[in-house]
Structure 1
């Protein structure tokens, strides 16, 4: 009896001991996860603070311009947001139009997804529905016969549903994805997006490792080990440690996010060659997600091949291929104006330029802080110069311009534009301190610490770098041109030797250097050098990068040809050689021609030069009537089944009304353009509103007829003139 009780007590103690051990292990794991989350999130918060000090991230100015943040929310939340996708899909077909559609198609019980479906099956179902509605637009004849007039409703609904389902498919892929790469042009707010995302993820209780790519000067995995801050005793068991973290995250239904900003800002071979290895390393961990950002101009050319080698490449999300809401754009403009106390008015042309570069918008308001002047035209080189001058005037204790030129000199000499060791600037102790203090309080430059590996003793060096590429390119251009001037290099051979070297190596500053130099040479009336730039670099790969990036979103880009871009970067007093270049380019390029036309038409609204008179000059060069007709025909073309309000001729008429409302009259060159397109297509009914011009403007006829070189168009204009005279 006693032995039995002793045995029971021993058994109970053993069970209790097992429970205590199990509880201790669970508690230890929880403490480990909490400690890990606090440790890495503390470092990530410090990185955000650095971006805030550099003013690359201003929380009060963060605005969701498009659906980028929404895609990132799905990326962050994973399975938890599956019900949102299913709910949004089911709601599409629960209203009047959806019910009528199901009745007409005979699918009363279709177009509904169960909440119990798996994510992968959900993606397959969404893709099948997307194909169904997309194919509907290709079966016009059969559907027209089957549904009669309801077909037109069906076609419109099919387009709307197809577009919405495509968005849900994107969200679904983001939720399933473990790796994501955000691409976009410089100054488009990628760092802002990531900083805001890190805060969002940390508020969700997720650990985040936030890294600036510039800081990685060793193998990516080795660098990440330093960020994990593993104790020496645990470091050699990294795999086991990460497995434990992954398991604990699984239990809590959380993710660890490893976020690396601005891949393009690190050209070091050790970084580029190891980024794909880092991506593959975490592929086996279900609760670890990777998020990168990179400039789109260089992703395809420099980094895409490395990610293609990955077992599972990251999902690429293009910020520029996500529609910007006009209301959000306006809200951002107003937010900047309020933050920098700018009360002046901005022309539509300037507004358009600012929206193409969020960096330029930021600096524009900063240099015009507290002013109330009206801005009709914009010159970004002048803005950058003014910005640097403002920083210089606020830091008179050292020669900032000399330091900037020295940095540019070292970058050009070594063809390394990531940064320069501060020690190589040969600054005095006091100048170095003042310089570093300045770096903490501007968005011109910043600095970081790098460790030189492979030495007997590790050496830590301080690296200074330009925060934004456009400013860097401006400073480098100014250094190169100043060098040519100091060396009496009247043919600017040094400039072209640097440009050729950058072209050969396809390096990032080439675009900016050519653009700023072109404006400089034009101001000096060295037109032969401007022409040499156009002849040598107008088909540079920069043009191809832009075209690959933006051809689906033409509303966000004016010109795809690099030569056109630099010509219109300084729009005052276009020269004959530029007009000839535009003619040669646009005579077979309808897209660039009409982009140029509406760009100049916006100038007519604002009352600035150049105006659409340039279009008439370019058209007057045409001696072949068929080529001229081919160029004008898309102005009336309705072959893409556009809505009436989307036709070019309709848009022109609307803007002519606005011009007449603002200025009280229609300029002569626009009257001449109306006469020209009427002579080519007199059957366009929208031109009937301008019969008064066709009847009374005899001098306008004569000027236009004398301007045109093509004999057939002269005859057509004479016929129009004579018909209205009668």
Structure 2
């Protein structure tokens, strides 16, 4: 019995030991598994730089292959990239900001100002250890002070009243220097940067160049085109970077990423280009939520870009108003392109494409405003020596497609037609899947040859409906949005015209539908259809030109009694807000009576919406030799035939045009002296004389200078009398009424 108990005890002891060993092994296994997970996560955290930059390089290389980014041709046209450098270097460049600010006042003028204007809120000298916020506040306060000097509204010490006049007179150099420092300081003090500009302004080129700079600095950067994003933005990024989120929650993972970046003194930059190009109905809300989430992390910065035309009307609400973190909004259109920068860019393109012709000042101006068009222009004129005195976009695009057809081994027109027809029929304007193209009889090998032959089309892999690694498919899309718009317009027209007939009503129904849908391509399609109706001979013979063009303009006509809008606040004029006016003035063809009536209708109903930019357009074309000029402007103005309406519309010229750096009417003397022909001088003199008849400049000194200069010109009396007479006739005043 005792023996049996001993055996049982031994067996029990062995079982206990085995059980204990098993528990130990199991615990060790769990420890090993946890260690493996932690190790995997750690490796992933430290390799996010490599993963992000690898993905970004792929995207940039794709853009290079598509021709949307040519590094050798990227030229810094203004200080935009410098502002983004401050955004990137932030703390590292703080000394530059302090040194630049102190330099403004470390002189005899600065000493006078410090003694004359004693305000505890102002700092005329910053210490080396000043924080980003202290720097920004100091620059902002100084900038506001000098803007007050311009208004002569600054009170000073009585002993220095005479000296204050100096700062009122020389305020512009101060405000200009402080404005640049203010932009740099705001960029240094933010994690969120919103870049805007018109189509072809070079947003993609700039962001590609910045991404390459970040990669060279060993920073982590994820460059995304919004077109590529389908479904949830977070999931898309995590999937593309192959992050291990099956084991770790997204929020936990990025907090760890943020911690690792903090230790390494690095940042993760997320750049989302062209947010307006994503036609997903919920993308605007998604982008707002994503920015709010991503900016919670101190070491993650984000840049987004958007076209001006969509930003003001739609995306500003989601990119700024619905975002919790402060943003820097930067408009490329507000930046001036110096003549030297434009010439440098044109020379680079001429050399790259072996173009030897002369380009007129007017054409240079148009090409410099739209870098996308610049590229296509040089593609069309490669190895050419033909001079370019004028330019029309639709003609350039048509020539480009003809070149692509000649150079392609396959029937590229059939492919383009198939893609355009599918987009129009399915009402999806971003891309067409390879499967759908094969159903149309376009085999993949044929498509590949078409893709290699031009930069019209490109291909990418997408994953729809927010799924990961599911429903993947390859799609084809137009590389350039404007080329897509042109080709879609072409297909709409070709389906509704014959050799001797144009079904204008059916075309108009298509355009009205697109306008109501408010899709991204609507404006471009409507514009190119308008050009067709304006220039086509069959339309001319069928007497449909005015009917169809007027019907298109009526889509954008200002309603009666609409509340007036003043976008520019008498200062900034960048682009037409009224799309009808934009269509008319970008068509670059001679104005017809119905177009002049439309322009006059806009000036009657709301002159401050676009009156200033109408004048700017006419002035620029006078100075640069474009289609329109100041004589045409005067015809439009006097055609209002109402004294108050004429005076109100004409008064909208009184503003600083930031883009061209005009201070109107102060610069009338400069315009006259710089004019190269007598015709230009005559037109500028007429405007100046009319202004002196109708108004007075706020600055009495400028008023005297204008009067003194133009009163001494040989034809002063003759031109002044002509303006008096035309004004009286237009207003139906008595001939001797000089009121």
Q: TM-score band, normalised by the shorter chain?
A: 0.7 to 0.9
Spell out the pairing of 1:129-528 with structure 2 (5 A cutoff): 129-138=142-151, 140=153, 142-143=155-156, 147-156=160-169, 158-231=171-244, 235-269=247-281, 271-307=283-319, 308-312=321-325, 314-398=327-411, 400-426=412-438, 431-440=443-452, 442-452=454-464, 458-485=470-497, 490-524=502-536, 525=540, 526-528=545-547
Structure with the largest fraction of helix: 1
Q: Distance in 1 between matches of 2:74 and 2:467?
A: 43
Q: How far is the alpha carbon of 1:312 from its aligned partner?
A: 2.5
Kindly report which structure 2 residues correspond to 1:29-44, keeping only aligned pairs within 5 A, or say none.
35-44=47-56
Change (3 A) 1:677 1:74: closer
| TM-score, normalised by the number of residues in structure 1 | 0.82
Other structure's SS at 1:403 match:
helix
248-257 vs 75-84, which deviates more? 75-84
Structure 1 residues 168 and 568: CA distance shift in structure 2, 3 A: closer
Tell me, in whole angstroms, the C-alpha distance in 2 between the residues paired with 1:647 and 1:202: 42
Contact 2:566-2:609 within 8 A present in 1 as well:
no
Q: Is the alpha carbon distance of 1:156 and 1:329 closer, same or farther for their aligned partners in structure 2, counting shifts above 3 Å?
A: farther
1:689 paired residue among 707, 712, 716: 712
Tell me the CA shift for residue 141 of structure 1: 7.3
Pick closer, same or farther for the CA change 1:599–1:256 going to 2, 3 Å.
closer
Assess, with a 3 A threshold, how the Cα gap between structure 1 residues 72 and 403 changes in structure 2: closer, same or farther.
same
Q: Distance in 2 between matches of 1:430 and 1:628?
A: 59
Report the equivalent of 2:594.
577
1:88 aligned onto 2:88 = no
Change (3 A) 1:629 1:222: closer
Instruction: Report how far residue 250 of structure 1 moved.
Output: 1.2
Matched, 1:618 2:631: no
Structure 1 unaligned segments of length 5 or more: list them. Answer: 1-23, 720-726
**Counterparts in 2 of 1:648 and 1:44: CA distance versus 1, 3 Å:** closer
Query: Equivalent of 2:550, from 531, 542, 555?
Result: 531
1:463 deviation in Å? Answer: 1.4
Structure 1 stretch 575-584 or stretch 320-329: which is displaced more? 320-329
Q: CA deviation at 1:471?
A: 1.2
May I ask how many residue pairs the two structures share in their alignment?
679
Separation in 1 of the partners of 2:313 and 2:731? 44
Q: Name the structure 2 match of 1:712.
A: 733
Question: Separation in 2 of the partners of 1:437 and 1:656?
Answer: 55
Equivalence map 1:23-102=2 (5 Å): 35-102=47-114
Q: Name which of structure 1's ranges 252-261 and 93-102 shifts more when overlaid on structure 2.
A: 93-102
The aligned counterpart of 2:25 is none
CA-CA distance at 1:304 after TM superposition:
3.6
Offset at 1:604?
4.8
Q: Does the CA-based 8 Å contact 1:29-1:248 persist in structure 2?
A: no
Q: Which moved more, 1:336-345 or 1:446-455?
A: 446-455
In 2, distance between residues paired with 1:118 and 1:199?
A: 29
SS at the partner of 2:473?
Answer: strand
Equivalent position of 2:22 in the other structure: none
Q: Is residue 120 of structure 2 the alignment partner of residue 120 of structure 1?
A: no
Partners of 1:277 and 1:247 in 2: how far apart? 22
Q: Secondary structure at the match of 1:294?
A: strand
Residues 292 and 324 of structure 2 are in contact (CA less than 8 Å); yes or no, is this contact kept in structure 1? yes
Distance 1:604 1:127 in 2: 38
> Quick check: 621-630 or 24-33, which moved more?
24-33
CA contact (8 A) 2:231 2:467 kept: no
Whether the 8 Å contact between 1:184 and 1:318 is mirrored in structure 2 is yes
Asked if 2 retains the 8 angstrom alpha-carbon contact of 1:621 and 1:709, the reply is yes
Q: 1:303 to 1:409 in 2, by over 3 A?
A: same
Whether contact under 8 Å (2:66, 2:455) holds in the other structure is: yes
Tell me by how many angstroms 1:74 deviates: 2.1
Distance between the aligned counterparts of 1:563 and 1:190, measured in 2? 25
Q: Structure 1 residues 25, 629: closer, same or farther in 2, change over 3 A?
A: closer
Q: Structure 1 residues 266 and 552 mapped into 2: Cα distance closer, same or farther (>3 Å)?
A: farther
Rounded to whole Å, the distance in 2 between the matches of 1:448 and 1:196 is 22
Could you tell me how far 1:198 is from its partner in structure 2?
1.1
Measure, in 1, the Cα distance between the counterparts of 2:284 and 2:187.
25
Say yes or no: does 1:563 pair with 2:586.
no
Give the SS at the match of 1:463.
strand
Contact kept? 2:83, 2:184, Cα under 8 Å: yes
Residues 50 and 220, structure 2, Cα contact 8 Å, conserved in 1: yes
C-alpha contact 2:362 2:389 (8 A) present in aligned 1: yes
Q: Is the 8 A contact 1:218 1:270 kept in 2?
A: no
By how many angstroms is 1:338 displaced?
2.3
1:589 matches 2:607? yes
Q: Any idea what SS the aligned residue of 1:280 has?
A: helix
Worse-matched range after superposition: 434-443 or 333-342: 434-443
Q: CA deviation at 1:530?
A: 0.8
Distance 1:440 1:144, change over 3 A: farther
Which ranges of structure 2 fall in alignment gaps of 5 or more residues? 1-35, 697-703
Change (3 A) 1:707 1:433: farther
Shift in alpha-carbon separation, 1:40–1:624, aligned structure 2, 3 A:
closer
For residues 435-477 of structure 1, the C-alpha deviation after alignment (integer angstroms, 9 at most, x for no partner) is 2343356432212111245899933211111222211111111
Corresponding residue for 1:12? none
Q: CA deviation at 1:254?
A: 0.8
1:137 is displaced (CA, Å) by 4.3
Alpha carbons of 1:678 and 1:712: their partners in 2 closer, same or farther (altered >3 Å)?
Answer: farther
* Aligned residues of 1:649 and 1:686 also touching (Cα < 8 A): no
- Secondary structure at 1:187's aligned position in 2? coil
1:519–1:569 Cα contact (<8 Å) kept: no
Contact kept, 8 Å, 2:198 with 2:309, in 1: the verdict is yes
CA distance in 2, matches of 1:413, 1:337: 40
When residues 279 and 710 of structure 1 are mapped into structure 2, their CA distance, relative to the original with a 3 A threshold, is: closer
Aligned equivalents of 2:693, 2:327: Cα separation in 1: 54
Q: Secondary structure at the match of 1:712?
A: coil
What is the DSSP-based 3-state SS (H/G/I as helix, E as strand, rest coil) of the residue aligned with 1:123? helix
- What TM-score does the superposition give when structure 2 sets the normalisation length? 0.80
- Residue of structure 1 equivalent to 2:3: none
Partner residue of 1:16? none
Q: Secondary structure at the match of 1:484?
A: coil
